[in-house]
Amino acid sequence: MKGPAVFLAQFIQDKAPFNSFDGLCAWAAGHGYTGVQLPTNDLRIMDLDKAAKSKTYCDELSGIAKTHGLMISELSTHLQGQLVAVHPAYDKLFDAFAPPMYRGKPKARTSWAVQQMTMAAQASAYLGLSAHVTFSGGLAWPYVYPWPQRPKGLVEEAFNELAERWMPILDVFDEHGVDVCFELHPGEDLHDGASFDRFLDLCEEHPRLCINYDPSHFVLQQMDYLQFIDLYDDRIKAFHVKDAEFNPDGTGGVYGGFQDWVDRAGRFRSLGDGEIDFGAIFSKLTQYGYEGWAVLEWECCIKDSEQGAAEGAPFIQSHMIRSTERAFDDFAGGTTDTQSNRKILGLDE
């Protein structure tokens, strides 16, 4: 496992050092991070169009990170991936994720989003990255709760369309040797294991269809986030280290009652302030041979972002495990061979 790294999206501001890639790299290195995950929708951080066309430009980005002792862990297209599939109920809200020229034009916006994804595949390859993090978008999400009764075939039609849109994108990433790691997140059609399985089947078990593991979203859905690793370890190729807590009472639970984040039963918290058992998570990921990055995604409704970032790197570092290269009881072993083993088993008579 590599890390600690930090997702820069939540820290971008209009003031220095948070308004440039060089400034953010210096800031991240100062907090003890060794990697940075880059959003691709802000020209102050990177120009995705330029990165897809110029390896020289990508080398310059890597060089800036390297001067601060950092590596680029992954690129992120969460916002563009969201726009690959948008239900009309969300058109107005999600228009803000697209350039002004595509707002109010759903088909053109989708085409732009697909192009962004293909550019991210090329840029990732130029940067020497093996994984990419994103969202799936959602056509069926408005119907997540089956009331009124969902018409037969509605969910199937939505997922068929979702797979049809993503398969060509997955193929492009495959051509460039990069895994597409979907963050399973409420609001996306891919939000839990069951929805991921449905999509995986429709995409014919595509080898590049992978997962950005973020346990915070599973806590808010009341899922078993540890068993999830046992079930999907071969598809987990990226890891957002984000904490959360769930405190239901007589007024609210999973759905939150339309309350602000601080008043909801399920809340995102800074690392160490929530209820997630990261000791068990890091142990399981190490057990299964996870070799990707451990990336802080900071979101908290209480703590300041600067404090959260400062505490995040040492928290991740303290949980990272160096995989053992020998058994703990090797000292008690002896030299054995087939003849000796047969004698032990009483088979050499």
| CATH hierarchy code of domain 2-344 | 3.20.20.150
Determine the average pLDDT of the residues in 298-304: 97
Q: For 14-23, how does the pLDDT look when each residue is reduced to its tens digit (9 = 90+)?
A: 999 999 999 9
**Burial group, residue 239, by CB count within 10 angstroms (0-12, 13-18, 19+):** buried
Mean pLDDT of the chain: 96
Domain boundary assignment for the chain: 2-344
Q: Where does residue 36 fall: left (phi above 0), alpha (psi -120 to 50 degrees), or beta otherwise?
A: beta
**Using CA atoms, how far apart are residues 245 and 76, in angstroms rounded to an integer?**
25
Q: For 105-144, how does the pLDDT look when each residue is reduced to its tens digit (9 = 90+)?
A: 999 999 999 999 999 999 999 999 999 999 999 999 999 9
Confidence category of residue 349, pLDDT binned at 50, 70, 90: low
Determine the average pLDDT of the residues in 179-205: 98
**Using CA atoms, how far apart are residues 11 and 297, in angstroms rounded to an integer?**
10
List of long-range contacts for 259-267, beta carbons under 8 Å, 24+ apart: 260/301, 261/301, 262/301, 262/302, 266/219, 266/220, 267/301
Determine the average pLDDT of the residues in 56-83: 98
pTM of the model: 0.95
- Segment (H or E) for 248: none
